[in-house]
A and B are shown apart, each in its own frame.
Chain A
Amino acid sequence: MAEADADTAAPASAAGRPPRPGPGSARRAGTALLRVLVRRRELSIVLVTVAAVIYFTAAGGNGFNTTNNYHIVMQYFAPWAIIGGAEALLLICGEIDLSAGFVFTFTPFALTSFYDAGATVPMALIGALLVAAGVGLVNGLIRMLFNLPSFIVTLGMGFFLEGMSYIQSRGEPVPPPIGGGLQQVIGGWRWSELIWALAIIVVLQIALSATRYGVYIQAAGGNPLSAAESGIKVGRVKVATFVITSLLAGFTGILDQVRVGSFDPTSGGNTTMFMAVASAVIGGTALLGGSGTVVGAMFGALLLGVINDGFNLIGVNAAAFDVVIGIAVIVAMLLNAYLASLRKKALR
């Protein structure tokens, strides 16, 4: 992606318009910064995140810049970043998964079910991940075969899985039946969730910007008709993305709840899903499809994690946090729309 943009700076005078007379160098620097921000939408969110970190460092006494506090930020960041990255891919191809938060909730109980039925822990883990992937497959197939909006399909799937989680757990949290090295790897070690999050973000971003799959989801979301006329199997591409999202949501559920040390039927749910989608949107992914980045979603998750943690630290209550998130999502959308039009003008 980065290299694709390398020589777009030149063609501004496509229509043969003469370049405007140069303004002052300060203004030119300002314009250059604006251009970079317009082109690399993730960058603006990075700047906002840095500002938030500086603010909470100053306002939060000595509490913010400590390893322990970073660990708390990580607990917000990691699940939102992973699921947000996957939701970014879905949004880019013009879909959304509202059930991802409940896949997060349900998948650990699928693991315990397999385990209770006599499977070894690794087998139960694989079984649970297959169940999670299967949920995505069902979401995607219903979406494509019956041409129902993914909003509705995954809303129903979310309720279904929420109920299943309570039935499976009888409403009680259970200790994860995982121990030893495997437990350390999948969430047990202090920073294991962070490592997973970063690794998954890198893989997803590479898939988006360096493979045919990435081109296809952008095409499928940007213009499904044109994509189909070009021979791209739009349905298959979208179903695959549903499967990826569900699989990662399920894996994150296990990861996060192994870290906590308890499989909890009240974990995850709509909050996790909304935070993931908000991360993607704040990170610059268009809700109507066609464009966006996984890295942007990661920075969106980081910003939300920093704000959430920082508000706790300086004693602002949770309700205020929701107010901020609400505003942030709407501002991000407005900014996206504004930047998109600016971008068109700048490059015409």
Chain B
Amino acid sequence: MTTEATGAGTGTEVIRVEHVAKRFGPVTALRDINLHVDRGEILGLIGDNGAGKSTLIKILTGFHRPDSGRILVEGQATRLRSVAHARSLGIETVYQDLALIDGLPVYLNLHLNKELIHRPLPFLRRREMRRLAREALDSVGIEIPSVTAEVGQLSGGQRQAIAVARSVHSEAKLLLLDEPLAAMGAREGTQILRLLRRLKQRGDLAIILIAHNYSQIVDVCDRVNLLQHGEITFDRRAADTSVAELLELVHAEYRIDA
């Protein structure tokens, strides 16, 4: 069933995963994973619960080490030693918990652990950070009432948007989004998808998006990969597939008469 849709040349390839496998004791989470994402491309990753999506994401963020296989970051075979190491290579993750501090204003969350300070007295450059935060949000078209609003007072979609903006803000090359739309209404979900599309149009970013809503996947992604039992069993351009086909693929094995 494997169909290889070719990406652009390797020069624009941000990440390539070759024959990666991962076991947890007796459980084989990933059998043989092969995938790649190019700059300016959004790859949709779908699959049933337990197919290995989260394990794959955790390997790419440097949280888990693969048992075998290799990962190439911009063409260089790289062992991702830790989350910090992966991040230093430009691999940013938007966690499901978003890693935001509710009690702090938007602009401080955007600069969290990267606060700007004066010299020689190390006072916060609040005005500068507010300005940059506003610019960063404007540049990706995120509408927040005020950058001084506390993050805890914002809606789920706005919080998600801020988490995405923060990752991008820090010179990300690869953005990993693990079910960013899971806890979101249709309207807010659409806003996030628009945001992803705008980020894609900037052309310098590769994005891997995990989602359960196939119409959104087909809508926003350039390519779709299906993960089944620890392998990528389907790789096709989004334009060449449909929601119906994806549903059929994922659910075929569970059909009662199968």
Contact = CB atoms under 8 A, between A and B. Distances in A.
B124 A11 contact: no
Given A3-B126, A15-B155, A231-B84, A222 B112 contact: no
A14 interface: yes
A230 interface: yes
Contacts of B148: 4-8
A212 B152 contact: no
B153 A232 contact: no
Given A7-B148, A14-B154, A290-B103, A212 B95 contact: no
B101 A227 contact: yes
B123 A211 contact: yes
Contacts of A229: 95, 97, 99
A344 B99 contact: no
Contact of B104 (A5, A7, A219): A219
B135 to A, nearest CB: 16
A7 B115 CA distance: 20
B219 interface: no
Interface in B117-140: 117, 122-124, 126-127
A4 B99 contact: no
A210 interface: yes
B9 interface: no
Nearest to A345: B153
A230 B104 contact: no
Interface in A1-57: 3-8, 10-11, 13-15
Contact of B97 (A4, A5, A7, A225): A225
Contacts of B101: 218-219, 222-223, 226-227, 290
B146 A212 contact: no
Given A3-B126, A10-B146, A210-B123, A226 B153 contact: no
Contact of B103 (A3, A5, A216, A291): A291
Given A8-B148, A14-B145, A211-B124, A223 B102 contact: yes
A215 interface: yes
B100 A223 contact: yes
A199 interface: no
Given A4-B126, A226-B97, A11 B146 contact: yes
A302 B151 CA distance: 32
Contacts of A223: 99-102
A226 B103 contact: no
Interface in A291-329: 291
Contacts of B183: none
Nearest to A206: B123
B149 A226 contact: no
Contact of B122 (A8, A212, A225): A212
A216 B95 CA distance: 20
Contact of A348 (B84, B97, B124, B153): B153
Nearest to A223: B101
Contacts of A219: 101, 104, 112
Contacts of B113: 216, 230-232
Contacts of B99: 223, 225-226, 229-230
Contact of B112 (A3, A8, A225, A230): A230
Nearest to A225: B97
Interface-centre pick from A14, A218, A232 (highest chain B CB count, 10 A): A14
B105 interface: yes
Given A3-B126, A15-B155, A215-B115, A222 B145 contact: no
A8 B146 contact: yes
A337 interface: no
Contacts of B98: 226
A225 B112 CA distance: 13
A347 interface: yes
A346 to B, nearest CB: 9
Given A10-B145, A227-B101, A230-B99, A211 B112 contact: no
Contacts of B146: 7-8, 10-11
Nearest to B111: A215
Given A8-B148, A225-B97, A232 B122 contact: no
B104 A215 contact: yes
B76 to A, nearest CB: 24
A223 B148 CA distance: 19
B176 interface: no
A347 B153 contact: yes
A230 B148 CA distance: 20
B14 interface: no
Interface-centre pick from A4, A10, A225 (highest chain B CB count, 10 A): A4
A223 B84 CA distance: 19
Interface string B22-35: 00000000000000
A212 B154 contact: no
A226 B95 CA distance: 9
A168 to B, nearest CB: 38
6 contacts: A3-B127, A212-B115, A215-B104, A222-B101, A223-B99, A231-B113
Given A211-B117, A212-B122, A223-B101, 12 more contacts: A4-B148, A8-B146, A8-B149, A10-B145, A11-B146, A11-B149, A14-B149, A14-B155, A212-B115, A214-B124, A216-B113, A225-B99
Q: Which A-B residue pairs are the 9 nearest by beta carbons? A: A11-B145, A229-B99, A226-B99, A222-B103, A14-B145, A11-B146, A290-B103, A230-B112, A231-B113
